[in-house]
Amino acid sequence: MRILSGIQPSGKLHIGNYLGAMRQHLELQDRGEAFYFIADFHALTTVKEPQALREHVRDVALDYLALGLDPARCTFYRQSDIHEVPELTWLLTTVTPMGLLERCHSYKDKLAKGLSPDHGLFAYPVLMAADILIVDSNVVPVGKDQKQHVEVTRDIAQRFNNTYGLEVFVIPEDRILPETGVVPGIDGQKMSKSYGNDIGIFLEGKALKERVMAVVTDSAPVEAPKDPDANNVFNLLKLFVSKEEEAEWRERFLKGGLKYSDAKKRLIAVLDETFGPARERRKELVRRPDYVEEVLREGARKVRPIAAATLARARKACGID
């Protein structure tokens, strides 16, 4: 079983990214033949500063490797190193109906947020289909909000196969990642880089303390009972502690006498316990830029023969031999 997932380098990764996808990516390394790529072509729809994009790509690579992505157990590469992807994207574009792309939720959502409707934003799902199909992926792990992208890929692949009367592409299946629930940001909204309410995975010391202490709470007096489920600190804390500790904190909230600062201090400690070792590994990796670059290049070297064979089938089917 070949598993594929992409990570867009659009900014610093935060604990919402870790809980929502990264943790599952790390677990899936041992569930099949895992392929993970840094989607720098995709990032061009929003990141327009070249140096910022280079830094984001480097940061994503460092973050994943520090957290435990193992090049010996998976294939980790940069999307733009697979030169076959843009050509396959064009071949797929020629069989993709406009209506299919117009119905995509991500396109409509981004328009609603005021992003300029350029062709890259509109055709984003075709590039994603090329990413998935180029390596003959069987399974694509996604959250519920991205399920449509895999459905679009399946539709495009089947249309291509039917148009040319050949089984050129493997038809992938989605695998819905386990729900972690909404990870609240420091303001209580869903944690997001775009909202500026995130807590970075690799924050530590004073920077981490300032961020956690800024988590919004109500003005209830210390002695008052408090609803844990309506409290941003509790809703973050429960994502990282054991069920037993979660129950203890719930009881403390309900009976009153709890200082929010005590819960925040525990959250800082839990984040240090969870990510402390990865932070140290990341510092070591920063001192080894050549190693990180070689990991990505070696991943591309593994992918390109597969991509070349897929593209050759698609070209031949079209009559471009």
Active site residues: 110, 190, 193
Separation between Cα atoms, residue 272 and residue 27, nearest integer Å: 21
The Cα angle at residue 37 between residues 33 and 40, in degrees rounded to 5: 170
Give the 3-state secondary structure of 31-81: CCEEEEEECHHHHCCCCCCHHHHHHHHHHHHHHHHHHCCCCCCEEEEEHHH
Contact (Cβ atoms closer than 8 angstroms) between residue 212 and residue 199: yes
The H-assigned helical ranges of 68-134 are: 84-93, 98-102, 105-112, 119-133
Separation between Cα atoms, residue 84 and residue 48, nearest integer Å: 23
Among 43, 27, 20, 9, smallest CA distance to 191 is for 20
Residue 137 region by backbone torsions, left for phi larger than 0, else alpha for psi between -120 and 50, else beta: beta
Q: How far is CA 279 from CA 62, 202, 316, in A?
A: 10, 6, 48
The Cα angle at residue 90 between residues 160 and 85, in degrees rounded to 5: 100
User: Which residue type does 89 have?
Assistant: T
The secondary structure element, H or E, covering residue 142 is strand 139-142
Q: How far is CA 41 from CA 45, 48, 54, 84, 121, in A?
A: 8, 11, 12, 13, 11
Identify the sign of the CA torsion 311, 317, 319, 321: positive
